[in-house]
């Protein structure tokens, strides 16, 4: 993590210097040579993985961190910040972020405004009246920077303290004699039944319903019976059914028969009591 | 019970316990039916003897905020950590800075932490710290909005191998200042905040905190100066 953060800062500043107006001679020098042709500008369509941009943004913990970095980098005393210079560098960083189309955090813009304010106040001539003399406009910023720096150091020191799971590990010895606590449960039959009802209720939710197309159509069977009756004139009742079709087939045949009877398309006839029943087309 | 037997019980209990054990909890292991429980003085001696015994071994007896813990020596971490496949977690700068500010400046509101860091503290970060039981809401400040004030927990001290907040490394002093600089700073110094104190607690906030404290949770940090 630290490694990548550092790279992020270096990358960010390398780009800052490359696009900076502070060093015009460097600007003339080609950035690179591609096939012998000097390249003085970074190609617009140069692919920068989005992840790398995040690294640049995340390498600083906010505007105070960035300011501290800029001050430290130049070995400047926090108490004597050259506001003009620091503001210029800070604004360049902001511009870079804008160029990279990063969403600028509001805190960074607030700091930019504050730097600009301090700069403008320092340009004003000091008031003649000593009683009303203002404090150094940098004072508040300096105090915040100093305070933040103390906690930056404190965070590093906190990180260095031996901590559990990284530096110290609690000793936990296996105890084979350990008996898991047991207790006799007193359960009434009613509770068992109630539990069972609960299980059944839940099982109900998992019941599968197979919805299938009706393979045996009553209408179709009606047609078949009618066709046969037209040819054979008298059909024995038992011949209407084919046992091979199983129970469902027999039921469909019966339904077809009853439907035909209801529609008065066929008649059932019987010559004698308990004699065979025949089916014939209605006259 | 012979002192040697008591010592064995204490050692075994500390070894199987998954959390640090306070002296009271160790004494409670000896039921009065089996004779007079060991006194706090005797327990103190036994724990000190045990600590001495472990000197020069791979393990040590460490006192942290919640009590005593037998642990592997920190020097052995480079080797011991290879026992596990996964690497110990690393924490972000945002987390460490937030934790440090709260540890040294507690009880403190979120807005005050943000003022020092210069950036917003994410709600997720605070939630993580509360869930890890490193932070707790110690109360609410009697100011507009009644903001919550945050403080560290015993769990935080246990995790960082500390017995009290006093064992935290001292905050750095502001850089060497020349007289002119001092005058320049003092002119703008906010009298309510003394930046030189290691832990400066706003008395008003403290009494507020004492009133709002949840029962059963001890006040870590109040009384330090």
- The verdict on B72 and B113 lying in the same domain is no
How many A-B residue pairs are in contact by the CB < 8 A criterion?
151
Q: How far is CA B182 from the centre of its chain?
A: 34
Question: B-contacting residues of A 112-151, CB under 8 Å?
Answer: 135-136, 139-140, 142-144, 146-151
In a domain, A209, yes or no: no
Element (H, E) at B151: strand B148-152
Question: B-contacting residues of A 32-71, CB under 8 Å?
Answer: 61-65
Task: Say which of B100, B119, B159 has its CB closest to residue A61.
Answer: B119
Q: For chain B, how many residues are written?
A: 225
pLDDT in tens, A207-247: 777 776 656 778 888 888 888 888 888 888 888 888 887 78
Q: Which chain B residues are closer than 8 Å to A144 by Cβ?
A: 115-116, 118
Please give the model's pTM, rounded to 2 decimal places: 0.58
- The verdict on A13 and A153 lying in the same domain is yes
Task: Say which of B69, B88, B187 has its CB closest to residue A135.
Answer: B187
- In this complex, do A146 and B171 lie within 8 Å of one another by their Cβ atoms? no
In a domain, B223, yes or no: no
Q: The CATH number of the domain where B189 resides is what?
A: 1.10.10.10
Q: What is the pLDDT of residue A67?
A: 84
Q: What is the pLDDT of residue A31?
A: 60
B171 touches chain A (CB under 8 A): yes
A76 touches chain B (CB under 8 A): no
- The verdict on B184 and B75 lying in the same domain is no
Question: Which of B98, B66, B37 lies closest to B218, judged by CA?
Answer: B66
Three-class SS of A160-178: HCCCECCCEEECCCCCCCC
Interface pTM (ipTM) of the complex? 0.72
- The verdict on B21 and B117 lying in the same domain is no
Q: Which chain A residues are closer than 8 Å to B187 by Cβ?
A: 135-136, 139
In a domain, A232, yes or no: yes
- Residue B102 in contact with residue B200, Cβ under 8 Å? no
Q: What is the pLDDT of residue A160?
A: 93
pLDDT in tens, B34-62: 888 899 999 999 999 999 999 999 999 99
Q: What is the pLDDT of residue A271?
A: 80
- In this complex, do B188 and A135 lie within 8 Å of one another by their Cβ atoms? yes
Q: What is the pLDDT of residue B104?
A: 94
Average pLDDT over residues B50-77: 94
Q: What is the pLDDT of residue B18?
A: 87
Number of domains in chain A: 2
Number of domains in chain B: 2
Minimum CA–CA partner of B180 in chain A: A79
- In this complex, do A161 and B73 lie within 8 Å of one another by their Cβ atoms? no
Mean pLDDT computed over every residue of chain B: 81
- Residue A240 in contact with residue A279, Cβ under 8 Å? yes
- The verdict on A227 and A156 lying in the same domain is no
- The verdict on A18 and A150 lying in the same domain is yes
Domain assignment of residue B183, given as a range = 93-212
Q: What is the pLDDT of residue A13?
A: 41
- The verdict on A117 and A238 lying in the same domain is no
How far B54 CA sits from the closest chain A CA (Å)?
13
Average pLDDT over residues B201-214: 39
How far B71 CA sits from the closest chain A CA (Å)?
4
- In this complex, do A172 and B181 lie within 8 Å of one another by their Cβ atoms? no
In a domain, A202, yes or no: no
Give the SS3 label for residue A54: helix
- The verdict on B121 and B62 lying in the same domain is no
Exposure string (b/e) for A205-243, b if CB count within 10 Å is 16 or more? eeeeeeeeeeebebeebbeebeeebeeeeebeeeebeee
Mention every residue, 6+ apart, whose C-beta is less than 8 A from residue A234.
Answer: A269, A278, A279, A280
pLDDT in tens, B110-153: 999 999 998 888 899 999 999 999 999 999 998 898 999 999 99
Q: What is the pLDDT of residue B128?
A: 93
Question: A-contacting residues of B 47-76, CB under 8 Å?
Answer: 59, 62, 69-74
C-alpha to C-alpha distance for B212 and B206, rounded to whole angstroms: 10
The angle that helices B179-186 and A139-160 make with each other, rounded to 10 degrees, is: 100
Domain assignment of residue A237, given as a range = 218-281
- In this complex, do B118 and A111 lie within 8 Å of one another by their Cβ atoms? yes
Backbone angles phi, psi at A193, to 5 degrees: -65, -45
Query: Per mean pLDDT, which range of A3-7, A259-263, B95-99, B167-171 is the poorest?
Result: A3-7
Q: Is the pLDDT of residue B155 over 90?
A: yes
Flag residues of chain A having pLDDT under 50: 1-27, 46, 48, 53
């Amino acid at each position: 993590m630290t490694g990548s953060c550092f790279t992020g800062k270096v990358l960010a500043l390398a780009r800052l210097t490359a696009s900076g107006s502070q060093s015009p001679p460097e600007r003339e020098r080609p950035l690179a040579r591609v096939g012998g042709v000097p390249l003085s500008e970074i190609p617009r369509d140069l692919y920068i993985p989005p992840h790398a941009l995040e690294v640049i943004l995340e390498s600083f913990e906010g505007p105070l961190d960035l300011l501290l970095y800029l001050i430290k980098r130049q070995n400047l005393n926090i108490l004597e910040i050259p506001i003009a210079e620091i503001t210029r560098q800070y604004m360049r960083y902001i511009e870079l972020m804008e160029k990279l189309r990063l969403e600028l955090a509001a805190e960074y813009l607030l700091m930019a405004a504050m730097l600009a304010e301090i700069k403008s106040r320092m340009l004003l001539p000091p008031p003649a009246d000593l009683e009303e003399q203002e404090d150094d406009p940098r004072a508040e910023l300096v105090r915040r920077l100093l305070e933040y720096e103390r906690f930056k150091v404190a965070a590093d020191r906190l990180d260095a303290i031996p901590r559990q799971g990284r530096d110290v590990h609690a000793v936990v010895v296996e105890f084979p004699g350990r008996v898991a606590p047991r207790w006799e449960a007193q359960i009434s039959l009613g509770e068992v039944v109630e539990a069972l009802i609960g299980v059944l209720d839940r099982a109900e939710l998992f019941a599968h319903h197979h919805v299938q197309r009706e393979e045996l159509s009553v209408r179709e069977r009606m047609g078949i019976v009618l066709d046969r009756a037209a040819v054979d004139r008298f059909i024995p009742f038992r011949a209407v059914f084919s046992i091979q079709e199983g129970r469902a087939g027999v039921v469909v045949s019966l339904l077809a028969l009853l439907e035909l009877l209801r529609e008065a398309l066929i008649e059932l006839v019987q010559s004698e009591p308990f004699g065979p029943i025949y089916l014939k087309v209605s006259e | 019970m012979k002192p040697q037997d008591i010592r064995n019980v204490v050692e075994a209990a500390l070894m199987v316990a998954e959390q640090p054990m306070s002296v009271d909890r160790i004494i409670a292991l000896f039921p009065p039916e089996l004779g007079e429980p060991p006194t706090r003085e005797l327990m103190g001696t036994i724990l000190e003897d045990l600590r001495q015994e472990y000197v020069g071994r791979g393990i040590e007896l460490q006192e942290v905020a919640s009590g005593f813990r037998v642990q592997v020596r920190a020097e052995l971490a480079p080797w011991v950590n290879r026992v596990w496949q996964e690497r110990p977690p690393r924490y972000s700068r945002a987390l460490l800075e937030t934790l440090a500010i709260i540890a040294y400046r507690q009880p403190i509101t979120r807005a005050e932490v943000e003022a020092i860091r210069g950036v917003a503290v994410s709600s997720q970060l605070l939630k993580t710290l509360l869930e890890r039981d490193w932070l707790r809401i110690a109360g609410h400040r009697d100011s507009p909005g009644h903001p919550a004030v945050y403080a560290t927990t015993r769990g935080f001290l246990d995790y960082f191998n500390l017995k009290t907040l006093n064992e935290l490394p001292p905050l750095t002093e502001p850089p060497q200042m020349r007289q002119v600089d001092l005058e320049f700073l003092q002119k703008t110094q906010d009298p309510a905040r003394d930046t030189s104190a290691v832990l400066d607690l706003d008395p008003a906030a403290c009494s507020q905190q004492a009133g709002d404290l949840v029962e059963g949770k001890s006040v870590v940090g109040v009384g330090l100066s």
